[in-house]
Homo-oligomer: A and B are copies of this chain.
Amino acid sequence: MMSTLSISEENYLKAIFHLYTHDAGIGTNAIAHHLNTKAASVTEMIKKLAEKKLLTYEKYQGVVPTRKGFTLALGIVRKHRLWEYFLVEKLKFKWDEVHDIAEQLEHIKSERLVEQLDHYLGFPKLDPHGDPIPDKEGKMCAMNCCCVSDIKPNSNAKISGVKNHSPAFLKHLEKMKLTIGKTVKVIDRNDFDQSVELVLNHETMYISKEVAENLLVKKIKG
């Protein structure tokens, strides 16, 4: 029934899924940039995926994933995040080391494998970066979070994730001990450079605008 997808096709689907859910515009160029490829290649692949009814496409109008395409993409994201969880929790990788490996593992084809892995890991809800892991049915918990720069001064918040997943950023956070689960108090935002003053472990610290915009937190009472 469902002709199995190539790794390239899966990567396109996943990129489109991410642009569709996160960002705004989902044009040919955006996809090309996301996949480190060229617009011409994207146009070509888009046509193939449209043929397979994984997305709808009209010339010059961009694409929209179909339900089927969306579900498939969710499945790939599920695998990616489960593998990331495995790599960190079981194999003791750091959170900044797992992306590239999970990028390969997500393409392993075996329903059984995913379900057994999920079971083995204890059906985790979040991956090491705080991103929700879709369950077998594609359901995942909403993460009602916002970035530090959107928190109003003098409120407490718990670190819950990152917007930027680059190893450089993750390593930087690790060094500053700004890791998932930690509680911080946002003190003030500096008008000069948009840096943010906060308290972590009873110590005052300042984080740059860039960090504040990419660090996700959940407000907590207090």
A74-118 residues with Cβ-Cβ distance < 8 A to B are: 87, 90-93, 97, 100-101, 104-105, 108-110, 112-113, 116-117
* Closest B residue by C-beta to A104: B108
On whether the beta carbons of B101 and A120 are closer than 8 Å, the reply is no
Chain B residues within an 8 Å CB radius of A113:
87, 91, 101
On whether the beta carbons of A92 and B104 are closer than 8 Å, the reply is no
Q: Give the residue of B91, B100, B104, B108 whose beta carbon is less than 8 angstroms from that of A101.
A: B108
Using an 8 Å CB-CB cutoff, how does the interface string of A113-139 with B read, 1 for contact, 0 for none? 100110010000000000000000000
Please, how many angstroms separate the alpha-carbon atoms of A222 and B113 in the complex? Answer: 43
The bracket for how many chain A residues form the interface is: 10 to 19
Q: Give the residue of B97, B104, B109 whose beta carbon is less than 8 angstroms from that of A112.
A: B97
On whether the beta carbons of B108 and A93 are closer than 8 Å, the reply is no
Chain B residues within an 8 Å CB radius of A90:
120
Q: State whether A108 and B105 are in contact (beta carbons under 8 Å apart), knowing that A90-B120, A93-B116, A120-B91 are contacts in the complex.
A: yes
Chain B residues within an 8 Å CB radius of A100:
110
On whether the beta carbons of B104 and A109 are closer than 8 Å, the reply is yes
- A selection of 22 A-B contacts at a CB cut-off of 8 Å is A87-B113, A87-B116, A90-B120, A91-B113, A91-B116, A91-B117, A91-B120, A92-B116, A92-B120, A93-B112, A93-B116, A97-B112, A100-B110, A101-B108, A101-B110, A101-B112, A101-B113, A104-B108, A104-B109, A104-B110, A105-B105, A105-B108
